[in-house]
Structure 1
């Protein structure tokens, strides 16, 4: 099953000569990288839904926490382990 996981943006950097914005996103203590190409207005401390390494929408903190708790309850957070293989490799 493919899910979008809520997380909080901790930092943002640009890569590939400034053409790609990447964020470090915290998912309940697990930090992964995600592309911000679909959310050009995303900023540090925003909550976003991440699907296969791409932030696809912004959400408020309450909704992010509610969704994260639900995913924990149903045991779907193990999918976070596979996210890195979908991301571009750093220069």
Structure 2
């Protein structure tokens, strides 16, 4: 049979302590009927109202236009790379060796 680990020994000691030191209501056989419910604090929700300024509107407009330009440039470079690749594989472009 395997030996007990330190953790198992601590758990057994805690169980023994709990059994030997029962609360008074359990030892007497009387059940305490009153329950104490802990009162929870209400969370305060802060509502932040944000009004969009003219600067924010302009910034959003420029951001969208910049994103469109970036997408167009990226797609152009990608298509150019594909055209060069297919032209090279078809033999239309000659590799220059110095």
TM-score by length of 1: 0.20
- Greater relative contact order (CA < 8 Å, ≥ 6 in sequence): 1
More strand by share: 1
More helix by share: 2
Bigger Rg, which one: 2
